Amino acid sequence: MEQTKPAKPETGCHQGQPGPSLWAVQTEAAPTPVGPYSQGVAALGPFLFTAGQVGLDPKTGKLVGEDIVSQTRQALLNMQAVLEAGGTTLSKVVKTTVFLADMEDFAAMNEVYREFFATDPAPARSCVQVARLPLNARVEIEVVACYPQST
């Protein structure tokens, strides 16, 4: 699947304005946003901030299953696609925020999460239970990643 990388803007945040340049990260390898947000936003500088990803199959636009394991795995695969489209990787994630529909799912989510973040040090993480997630998903994950150093 072809991934798209928008051209980096020549000017600041708003056309013609000084300041850090920002651009949207968008890829067909992750689901299209279901609201007014970007899959990710890259800033000219060291970090990429992503929107939360749920366990949607990017081809069907539907949740991959009702269980926390399959939804966590797909959410992290979607996140991997967004990061790669933005020029970085899961190994460069410095902070994650995990939103769970039910904190009873924490242990099962954590087992899948560990498969994707086996780095040392592991990213800093916050995990909270929320009243409800988009599309009645069981988990949503957002990250902040840095960029690989240029050589």
Catalytic residue numbers read: 127
Taking the chain, what is the end-to-end CA distance rounded to the nearest angstrom?
Answer: 28
Residue ranges per structural domain of the chain: 40-146
How does pLDDT run across 76-118, given as a tens digit for each residue? 999 999 999 999 999 999 899 999 999 999 999 999 999 999 8
d(CA 24, CA 136): 26
Judge if pTM exceeds 0.85. Answer: no
d(CA 137, CA 113): 16
Residue holding tokens 């929320």?
A: 130
Place of tokens 């600041």: 12
How do residues 7-55 score in pLDDT, each as one tens digit? 444 433 333 444 456 778 889 999 987 766 778 877 666 899 999 999 9
Q: Residue 106 has which token pair?
A: 């924490």
Q: In the beta sheet, which residues pair with residue 93?
A: 145
DSSP structural state of residue 15: T
Ranking 59-68, 70-79, 86-95 by mean pLDDT, the lowest is 86-95
Give, as one character, the DSSP assignment of residue 75. Answer: H
Q: Which CATH class is domain 40-146?
A: alpha beta
Lowest mean pLDDT among 4-8, 56-60, 99-103: 4-8
Query: Could you say which DSSP state residue 8 is in?
Result: P
Kindly report the three-state secondary structure assignment for every residue of 62-118.
CECCCCHHHHHHHHHHHHHHHHHHCCCCHHHEEEEEEEECCHHHHHHHHHHHHHHCC
